[in-house]
Structure 1
Amino acid sequence: MNGVKTISVALFLFSILGSAQEAQHPNVFLITLDGVRWQDVFTGMDTALFNSSYTEHKEELAQQFVGSTNEESREKIMPFFWNTIAQHGQLYGNRNKGSKVDLTNTMLFSYPGYNEILTGRADDAHIDSNDKNYNTNITVLELANSQEKYTGKVAAFASWDVFPFIINDKRSGVPVNAGYMNAKGALSEREQFLNEMQRQAPVIWESVRLDVFTHHFAKEYVKKNHPKLVYIAYGETDDFAHGGLFDMYMKALHNTDALIADLWQYVQQDDFYKDNTYFIITTDHGRGEGVREHAKWTDHGKEVQGAEHTWLAILGPKVKPVGETDNVQLFTDQIVPTISKLLHLKWDTKRITAKPLLLE
């Protein structure tokens, strides 16, 4: 009997020490907002688009998001970015200040953009469409999941239903909940409710569910399983933009900012994540600058001027709080080396040659 008690105590102490050791390793939430322009993040309301036929409810939009200055306007649109990240983290991409973030792929639409974000390099030779083809490239999610200390501690949630193919869930073993997929396994009451509700809400696009469902599926999974690396891909902004609905695009951007704020607030209240978690936030591509031919705001792709221009936001315990940056050039392919460095992942430096970002 004493031997059993000794073993039990030893196992208990091992579990406590193991949990403490695991908690010392940082956590990373990689978050993307589909097709959001740097202008809308950094310069506030675009008056040309506001005054164009793309905006139906001008008075309502003005009341919500127009300020006396560009700085006041952008804060109204994205209060979490400008009241939290700008104060405690880093923001890149305001080209008016010489802060530039660019894609390295030349396709300038979603699948190639997400491949670059998640794998650390462009692959124009093989990824030239948004078709549901399984990605032959290894994402940072798969890389982490293949290494013992992170196996089973990686997950992805997305509004767009192509993400199981981008992440290659079959090969990688990374659980991906995307499009109108239901949560699976031993479900909480809220997950059961989300499964029931997601198709009872308006289905605006069959391939992209509303971001609020993606967000809460992710949040419930995080609460239950405490993964170390989480990817969340919000999608509404790009689809509203393609539809030429500038007011809905701006509202979606505002709402997504609030969802990210909600997630950050939860993370800072959870002992597993508090003061040991990084948020890396970006977009898969830019868009046109207005209403001119080859520069239409509704469009992106290699023929659209400015679609290669993106942005990046970073928040975390060792991130130097410099706020909005100027006179710097970054590229999207630097995200994977940065995550790999934070999580101490072993990655192929011959295949991924971009340098990690200097956060401290």
Structure 2
Amino acid sequence: MKKLILIFALSISASFSFAQTRKTKNLIIVTLDGMRWQEVFRGADSAMISSKYTEDKDEVRKKYWTASLEDRRKLLFPFLWNTIAKDGQIYGNRDLGNNEELSNPYRFSYPGYNEIFTGFPDVRMNTNDAIANPNTNVLEFLNKQKGFEGKVITFSSWERFPQILNTSRSGLPVYSGYANLKNSDANARLRYLNELQHHVPHYLGDSTRLDFITYEFSKEYIKQYKPRVTYIAFDETDDMAHAGNYKFYLDRARQEDGYIKNLWEMIQADPFYKNNTTLLITCDHGRGEVPIDQWRDHGANVKGAENTWFAILGPDTPPNGELKTPTIIYHKQLAQTISMLFGFNFKAAAGHEVGDAIKTVFK
């Protein structure tokens, strides 16, 4: 009995020590829907620029093309390759054998987001329909931890996230599509955004608002309310790819890199967030590559749509830059990685499995 008590005590002590060693106090998660690893690591694709999917080819070449791969990807993602590649980590360059993949076989949005936030690929989550997710997600888990209650927020361009994060069960505030922010004490800028989003053109349809509005909501909410965990889900990269418009796909990717840069600079200038905040960027699925028409698509039958990537920057992450070690990691490992950034062990209330944390993320 004494041995059991000692083992238990040592276990509690180790867990407490683990939690205390973490410097991360806050977290920002950003997803770029359907953003291919090919452009992330190679920059603009010359074959795509020369194809029927690119209008204004000379303009696109001038903005995004150079012979050097390293320079080319910096043209498209300057913050990712000038800042995160220097001070953080980037995973998923399959050209180097560093593979990051989906575990779910469906390879589209709802199953991808379920895998990211619940830590496992559920065969029941095989739709983009408005079905409430039965699985516990890491955001609701964090929202129940001491000091995090009411400090977890989501803004998304696509309308489906209230179901993906099951707001009816989780109680998480999730502002998706054209939903208005409900805070009665919201500042004038947030109240203006509530109004503005209904008057801007609905270029993406009535279920998906412009990423600019999602970005502005997120930025202003962070300024006023200082959340501990903020999830921002952009969508336009996926929309432009489905539309077959490679120019706009590149433009939206470059725009979202700029949004992330601005957010990072803003929080690093804020004493509440400075040097104690981790930034994690990823996508929900990949896209096809061969034949060339498959770049527009993803799904169970699209080869390459399982290939994903992620980047991370923060006080607990060594500045290893682009990971070049041949290995394979999975999206299902991100939920526990997120949890362990705060020193917590994510265990789902329903008892479903949770992928192991990615150890190389931590110092």
TM-score by length of structure 2 reads 0.89
Q: CA deviation at 1:347?
A: 2.3
- The superposition leaves residues 284-307 of structure 1 with CA deviations (integer Å, 9 ceiling, x where unpaired) of 000011544xx6000000100100
| 1:296 aligned counterpart, secondary structure | helix
CA distance in 2, matches of 1:301, 1:210: 24
- The superposition leaves residues 183-242 of structure 1 with CA deviations (integer Å, 9 ceiling, x where unpaired) of 222221111221222232221122111111101111111111111111111000001100
Aligned residue pairs total 336
CA distance in 2, matches of 1:346, 1:65: 42
Look up the match of 2:356.
355
Look up the match of 1:6.
none
Look up the match of 2:203.
204
| 1:352 aligned counterpart, secondary structure | coil
Identity, in percent, stands at 44
1:218 lines up with 2:227 in the alignment: no
Look up the match of 1:181.
179
| 1:300 aligned counterpart, secondary structure | coil
- In angstroms, what is the RMSD of aligned CA positions? 1.6
CA distance in 2, matches of 1:291, 1:52: 12
Look up the match of 2:147.
149
Does the Cα contact within 8 Å between 1:93 and 1:100 map onto a contact in 2? Answer: yes
Question: Which blocks of at least 5 consecutive residues in structure 2 are unaligned?
Answer: 1-19
Q: How does 1:217-236 map to 2 (within 5 A)?
A: 217-236=217-236
Q: CA deviation at 1:24?
A: 6.5
| 1:148 aligned counterpart, secondary structure | coil
CA distance in 1, matches of 2:79, 2:102: 25
Look up the match of 1:314.
312
| 2:294 aligned counterpart, secondary structure | coil
Look up the match of 1:116.
115
Look up the match of 1:92.
91
Look up the match of 2:6.
none
Q: How does 1:176-325 map to 2 (within 5 A)?
A: 176-185=174-183, 186-205=185-204, 206-292=206-292, 296-325=294-323
CA distance in 2, matches of 1:197, 1:67: 39
CA distance in 1, matches of 2:353, 2:312: 21
Look up the match of 1:69.
68
Q: CA deviation at 1:25?
A: 5.5
Look up the match of 1:128.
126
Does the Cα contact within 8 Å between 1:49 and 1:290 map onto a contact in 2? Answer: no
| 2:239 aligned counterpart, secondary structure | helix
Q: 1:145 and 1:54, CA in 2 relative to 1: closer, same or farther beyond 3 A?
A: same
The amino acid of 1:77's aligned partner reads L
CA distance in 2, matches of 1:321, 1:144: 26
Look up the match of 2:5.
none
Which deviates more from structure 2 when the two are superposed, residues 190-199 or residues 305-314? 190-199
The amino acid of 2:344's aligned partner reads L
